[in-house]
A and B are shown apart, each in its own frame.
Chain A
Amino acid sequence: MARRLKKKVKKFLLVFLVLPLCIIGIFVFGTPKSPEPELNKARIAIAQARKTIEKDFIPPSLTEAESLYDSAMRIWRSENERFILSRDYSKPKTLAIRAEQQAIVSPKIANQSTTDFLEILEKDIAEVKRDTAKIEELYSRLPLPTTINKRYARGVILLTEAVLNFGQKNYKECRSKLDLAKFDLSEVKRYTEALLNGYFANLPMWKRWYDQTIRESARNQSYAIIVDKFAGKCYIYLAGQLKKTYDAELGKNWIGNKRYSGDKATPEGRYRVTKKKDSGQTRYGKALLLNYPNDEDRRRFQNEIQNKTLPRRANIGGLIEIHGGGGKGVNWTDGCIAFADRDMESIYRTIPVGCPVTILGSLQSLFEVTNNAKP
């Protein structure tokens, strides 16, 4: 009886204690270790990299890190579907370690390309701003066609957008807007440069006219008028000495010489006052009539007719005057030189008939006017 009881107790212990303990032991010590620590490290490294790297400069290494992490998670999930003792977590562990390594190096890689990109971007923004400032200074004085005006307006608006995007750290959008602004503004710059380079090719001739006029004034101890079209100034000389300076307003298309009647250009050359017109004889208060066209003007006009750069029916024009009614701050005449009424009163009192009037493009070189941007 006792022996049978002992046997029963042994069987009980085997079934309820030893066997379960063995089974549990096999599962606990036989279950592979999860890749959670490796994946944790990778996830933290990726999150940290995302925080430090600007969104526009995510390097391929970080994208790869995220892809490796996703693959590790996918394989881990898949392994977890299998019987616990046959799971293999080596692959997700390897992938997680690689993901962490890629994430760690990503900020360094991104910083280098970010620094280079931003350096170039800031330099370009500064350059476009400089060019725009230069164009702006001259722009207001130049008679530009509507298409160029529109391009300039569009370029300035795009530049402002680019700067706004830079401030918001939308660097790729900034680059895109800046490139569009550069395209428009470089067209305007190219046009204005070509216009001005062509115009200022006459500088040596203008300087000769100036010298001749001043020498004559000094020799004859007489008055002379010099009109600097680019500066928008009129200089009154007596005996070769500068006496007075006035602001002058010219024809709307003042750049270039006068070619024909109606072109709204103020002529360039050496002229004289042929008549003084008092109030009642002119609608602009007072006026001094010039001898435009002179011989040189006529020669040039004939050449253009012969070369067919002007139609046969074109008219050389005339009635170019120095007159009042100005002081409007813009170039608005049909070719005449206008002054504020008070200035015209003074000029009219001073200047006699026969006084030489030399109208030239500029007394300064293009370099001088674009760098000082002041007359």
Chain B
Amino acid sequence: MKIKLLSGLAIVGMALVMTSCQKYPQVEIDAANAAIEAAKQAQANLYVSSEFNALQDSLNTVLAAVEKEKSKLFKNYKDEVAKLTATSEMAKTVAANAVAKKEQMKQETASTLTELTTLMDQNKEMLAKAPKGKEGKAAMEAIQADLTTIETQVAEVNTKLASDDIINALNQAKSLKDKATSINTELTEVMSKTKKK
């Protein structure tokens, strides 16, 4: 009787040993996936693409490690749980870096637009001071067309900023500033010549 009882307990104990292990880290996996999704929402794939790629690779590595553990008879997810937690933290850092990079580019666009506005104001002031009469008018007509083109495109830059297309907004702002600078140089030269008597 005792032996039968002990045998039964032994079999149950073994069964428990074989089937019990740490719980599959679904919670940690979901948390890591959510953190990466948040990084993607922050446009990390655009603004800090190499960091984001490294993050994705990190997650893939740990997910493979989880499945490897799951394939085993005796499972232990302790290391994998730690790696998943680390990946979630890494994702938060990458997301923060993306936000910071984006903000820096927004600031750069804003300051480029400010410089552009200053140049445009100078250009318009010079136009207003251009000699009245046909000699002034002739010189300024082509330049006025250029200024109008720039003003139209400044509106496009602001639209891009509002729709979060920061990279293209910055490039366009830089191009417009470049053009405004060349107009400024041209106007200064024309003004100095038209002032000659």
Contact = CB atoms under 8 A, between A and B. Distances in A.
A329 B134 contact: no
Q: Categorize the interface residue count of chain A.
A: 35 or more
A64 interface: no
A65 interface: no
Most buried by A among B67, B134, B139, B189: B67
Contacts of A40: 64
Nearest to B193: A329
Interface string A319-338: 00000000111111110000
Nearest to B192: A329
Contacts of B196: 327-328, 340
Interface stretch (A9-17, A192-200, A360-368): A9-17
A91 interface: no
Q: Categorize the interface residue count of chain B.
A: 35 or more
B171 to A, nearest CB: 5
Most buried by A among B10, B171, B174, B193: B171
A161 B194 contact: no
Contact of B67 (A11, A34, A69, A327): A34
Interface string A27-43: 11001001010011001
A77 interface: yes
B168 A20 contact: no
A2 interface: no
Given A8-B3, A170-B167, A173-B168, A36 B68 contact: yes
Contact of B194 (A73, A157, A329): A329
A36 B71 contact: yes
B183 to A, nearest CB: 9
Interface string B40-80: 00000000010001000100110110011011110000000
A76 B3 contact: no
Contacts of A39: 64
B12 to A, nearest CB: 12
Given A36-B67, A153-B146, A27 B73 contact: yes
B57 to A, nearest CB: 5
Contacts of A156: 179
B104 interface: no
Contact of A330 (B61, B73, B138, B175): B138
Contacts of A333: 134
B155 interface: no
Given A43-B57, A146-B145, A73 B67 contact: yes
A164 B175 CA distance: 8
A144 interface: yes
A84 interface: yes
A290 to B, nearest CB: 19
A20 B193 contact: no
Given A39-B64, A330-B194, A332-B139, 19 more contacts: A16-B7, A23-B18, A31-B72, A36-B71, A47-B57, A80-B71, A149-B142, A149-B146, A157-B150, A157-B153, A157-B172, A157-B178, A158-B175, A161-B171, A168-B167, A252-B138, A332-B134, A332-B135, A333-B134
Shortest 10 CB-CB distances between A and B: which pairs?
A: A34-B71, A329-B193, A160-B175, A149-B145, A332-B135, A332-B138, A153-B149, A330-B139, A36-B68, A153-B146
15 contacts: A20-B10, A34-B71, A36-B67, A50-B53, A76-B67, A153-B149, A153-B179, A160-B178, A160-B179, A161-B175, A164-B174, A168-B167, A329-B194, A330-B190, A332-B136
